Amino acid sequence: MKKVYFIWKSFCFLFVMGLLILMGFYLYAYITPKMDIHNSNRIVMYDNKDEVFYENTNNTSWTSLKDISKYAIDGIVATEDKNFFSHNGFDYLRILKALYADFKSGEFDQGASTISQQYIKNLFLTFDKTWERKIEEAFLTFELEVHYSKDEILEGYLNTINYGAGNYGIQNASLYYFNKNAKDLTLAEASIIVGIPKNPTYYNPIYYYDNAKKRQKIVLQSMVTNGYISENEMNEAYNQELSFHGKKPNNYIVSSLYYKDAVISELNNISEIPKSLIETGGLKIYTNLDNEAQRKLEAIISEEMADTGELQVGALIREPKTGNIVALIGGKNYNESQFNRVTMSKRQVGSTFKPILYYAALENGMTASSTFVSEATTFSIGNEETYSPSNFGSRYANKAITMANALALSDNIFAVKTHLFLGTSMLRDTGNRMGIKTELPNNVSLALGTTEIGMIDFSNAFATLANNGIKNEAKLIRKVTDLDDNVIYEADYEEEQVLDQRYTFILNEMMSKTYNYDYIDYASPTLLSVSGMLTKKYAAKSGTTSADYWVVGYNPDALVMVWNGFDDNRDVDVVSSKVPKRIWARAIEAYLEGKESNWYDIPKGVTATIVNPISGSTSDLSVKDALYYIKGTEPSYIIEDIESIITQNNNS
């Protein structure tokens, strides 16, 4: 009996304490200032000419509840929160279940369920599922319920949620999907739109019609269950044939939504920006987007990838001098897939990693005409292990070739021999010095780009090479203000000279030979197929793995990087290698169209010598080119017995 009494007493105590805490929440909510739901979650983004290219909500698209189809209102309540009009912002039974599930699993993967809670969630820049975040959301939900009526909350929610394809708010969604105002939506149309926010990509009816129809069935059934429509109305709506509009204004750049997502990602890493938009009342974000460059890049990718099936793409254009990313595309079609392959994906970079290796080689005594024998080779790498890389198509020179030729033809054997000659830690350290933040392994295959690196991170190394050895940070954001133009954050442009300008120049010159006919030998320069498309001089390198194709190229004014591959890492056929090469060539030419050709000045202490670029000979000039050297290291300078040094390094 005493035990029962104790349990009852404990229950009463916990109940009273819970009630007091609840009352405290409400008291706190009453004394806090009323949030402005029309602006609190507003984000406006400007391009590099201070023109708006993105708004998630604005006063012109905000639609009052009376101007929204009753079918849409009833559908969202029936599907998302059937008790919306009777609770105080929380479904306590469901919250208890969610808390229990979180406690049991040790993870925070149970989301809030009411419309009020979802609305508050939309006022945050991040989607962290921590206890602190959940508590903050709870406070804000109380504030929302205290200061606004149910109709006002529902109106705000319908005007701010994501309906896919860059459409925020039901009016924008109605115009995009059905070319009509929100008040004119039929039951069939409304039930399609209401289903989209659950997963704005997966339930997009234009690209995933079958998924959208399954979701529509759930919405309609919920409306029947909750007494909003009859069975007959449900069946009639479900079976109604719909036509979709799917068009934005003519001047709208769909791919800029990838840029927008990348901006949000960068924004989340800026400590000065509050993660809750309520604290700022909304944000104005001034970016480095070049709308014309973005438009051209989108058109080029659309044309070059028109018949490539599920092959995907990532591409960026970056200013070497500033680090500014002026254009960015994270996939073939944003409406079909919002996964941003520039910011969210890491892929093996293949032979595009070799310029980093050859910079390290130049810095450590090798020259453009240093030679190794290109032949099928099995390397002993210690602990009785061996490594047997091969050249593309198993083609080898079976003779000594120069570094310049090895770079132009992307010879793997030369690269591994160089890597082992230097010592494997040298390449890792050089990559990090150039700006790669990814942890690089200290192994023999790093020379062939077997490490997975994100595109922006990888572009840091080439931006350093393109900027005469000066490292800077990749930037999408220039400045952030609140809606009243008070500056919250302004980008600092810091730079550091991390490479020797002389070796950087020599490497850039060698990289300009990857599309030079004079370098044809046992294989062809890797970018020879696009040489006729280039009107300016560029340093460039391509790279392949079984599942990835990369091209990066630059001059002092622009750096363009392109990746192609499949999201599931399946093998890419050889024919597809032409796609990133053509995209790169067309993109960098389009960006620099109308600008004078620009190249790097020869630094003091660097001289040119006419040599045979394949053999390094100064007497056999049946093929000849000007290669650059640090004064005193011209062709007469020879690293003696370089092969034996490799063997010595391996044994040590």
Burial of residue 648 (number of CB atoms within 10 Å: 0-12, 13-18, 19+): exposed
Rounded to a whole number of angstroms, the CA Rg of the chain reads: 30
d(CA 573, CA 582): 16
Tokens of 610: 């006419």
d(CA 443, CA 379): 13
Cα torsion for 297, 299, 300, 304, to the nearest 10°? 140
Integer angstrom CA distances of residue 518 from 294, 509, 528: 35, 14, 10
- C-alpha 441: how far from chain center: 23
H-assigned helices in 196-273 = 209-225, 231-238, 256-267
Nearest to 81 by CA among 104, 59, 58, 111: 111
d(CA 315, CA 584): 9
3-state secondary structure of 39: coil
> Which of 80, 266, 304, 509 is labelled catalytic?
80
d(CA 650, CA 384): 11
Sign of the dihedral defined by the CA atoms of residues 222, 226, 227, 228, in that order: negative
Looking up tokens 């602006």 gives: 39
Longest dimension (CA), the chain: 108
SS3 content of the chain, % helix, strand, coil (to 5): 45, 15, 40
Which positions ≥6 away from 407 have C-beta within 8 Å? 354, 355, 358, 510, 511, 513, 514, 541
The backbone torsions φ and ψ at residue 579, rounded to the nearest 5 degrees and listed phi first, read -65, -55
Partners of 43 in the beta sheet? Answer: 283
Sign of the dihedral defined by the CA atoms of residues 224, 230, 231, 232, in that order: negative
> Which of 345, 351, 374, 615 is labelled catalytic?
351
Nearest to 327 by CA among 369, 288, 356: 288
233 classed as catalytic: no
Sign of the dihedral defined by the CA atoms of residues 64, 66, 72, 75, in that order: positive
137 classed as catalytic: no
Partners of 627 in the beta sheet? Answer: 609
Task: Please work out, in degrees rounded to the nearest 5, the angle formed at the alpha carbon of residue 176 by the alpha carbons of 175 and 177.
Answer: 100
Question: For 191, what's the count of Cα atoms within 13 Å in the CB-facing half-sphere?
Answer: 27
d(CA 109, CA 478): 34
Cα torsion for 104, 105, 107, 111, to the nearest 10°? -80
CB atoms within 10 A of CB 557: 18
CB distance 414 to 401 below 8 Å: yes
d(CA 199, CA 162): 9
Looking up tokens 């739109």 gives: 193
Tokens of 35: 């949030």
Catalytic residues: 80, 351
